[in-house]
Amino acid sequence: MERKIYTARLSKKILLSESAQCFHLRFAVEGQSAFDFLAGQFISMIATDSHGKQQTRAYSLASASRGNQFDLCVNRVEGGFFSNMLADLNLGETIQFHGPHGLFTLPSPLTDTIMIATGTGIAPMRGFVEHLFPPTQPDRSEGRSLWLVYGTRYETEIYYQDFFKKMAAEHPNFHYLPTLSRSQESWKGLRGYVQDYVRSVLTEHASRNGLTTASASQQLHAYICGLNNMVSANRELLKEMGLDKKQIHFERYD
């Protein structure tokens, strides 16, 4: 079957972090009143490089489905073709893509859910949170306990901090835990790697509910997104804590 190729025009561009050269990009899909997708899915962007070769790269949708718009969160990869092309895209310019693709989506009905991300792996988590707590529609979180454990190196690289803080302040069942691996003295929050907090979050949740960690683990789903090493370490940890592989969803960016 022929894949439908869409054209998207850049309508908004925000530099999220100067040091990480990370951008929030908003696109509008040309000629469509709606571009429907499930939170957590990705699109495949297509462009021709300087050798005339067609290049395709996947990018997670960093928003919930919203009319004909979608958001991306992209950082420059040193020497990389596509990430730098997107980071250099000017407002009004267009790019082609196909999709949406992928099974990195929330279960229905929703269960308690732990989201684990580093760097731009925050993109699908932003989509999940926007879907669960839509700005103009009723809460879709069904009262489930939701955690977002987010790791970056420095405070300047905590993408979308204001958004997630606001969601956590407005929704007591959503817990936002950013942690820094190379924090400065002045940082008052969590320090270390995401794995350190995944274990404590799940253990505390089990004991609050009078359950063993293994039985509490059977009732939740985990979503991990980022670079391969972090994804592997967290998959191992979650299996060790009693989650079945069907409960562990992951997206590897490299």
Ligand X SMILES: Cc1cc2nc3c(=O)[nH]c(=O)nc-3n(C[C@H](O)[C@H](O)[C@H](O)COP(=O)(O)OP(=O)(O)OC[C@H]3O[C@@H](n4cnc5c(N)ncnc54)[C@H](O)[C@@H]3O)c2cc1C
Q: Which residue ranges make up the site for ligand X (CB under 6 A)?
A: 42, 57-60, 72-75, 77, 79-84, 120, 123, 227, 251, 253-254
Q: Which is nearer to ligand X, 59 or 160 (CB)?
A: 59
SS3 of residue 67 by DSSP: coil
Q: Residue 85 in contact with residue 46, Cβ under 8 Å? A: no
Q: Residue 40 in contact with residue 127, Cβ under 8 Å? A: yes
Distance in Å, CB of 41 to ligand X, minimum: 9
- How far apart, in whole angstroms, are the C-alpha atoms of residue 181 and residue 186? 14
Strands (E), 18-135: 22-29, 42-48, 54-60, 69-75, 94-101, 112-118
Distance in Å, CB of 113 to ligand X, minimum: 19
Q: Which is nearer to ligand X, 101 or 208 (CB)?
A: 101
Q: Which residue is nearest to ligand X (CB)?
A: 80
Distance in Å, CB of 90 to ligand X, minimum: 18
Neighbours of 208 (CB within 10 A): 10
Q: Which is nearer to ligand X, 227 or 233 (CB)?
A: 227
Q: Which is nearer to ligand X, 39 or 74 (CB)?
A: 74
SS3 of residue 156 by DSSP: helix
Q: Which is nearer to ligand X, 97 or 253 (CB)?
A: 253
Distance in Å, CB of 191 to ligand X, minimum: 23
Distance in Å, CB of 200 to ligand X, minimum: 27
- How far apart, in whole angstroms, are the C-alpha atoms of residue 36 and residue 66? 8
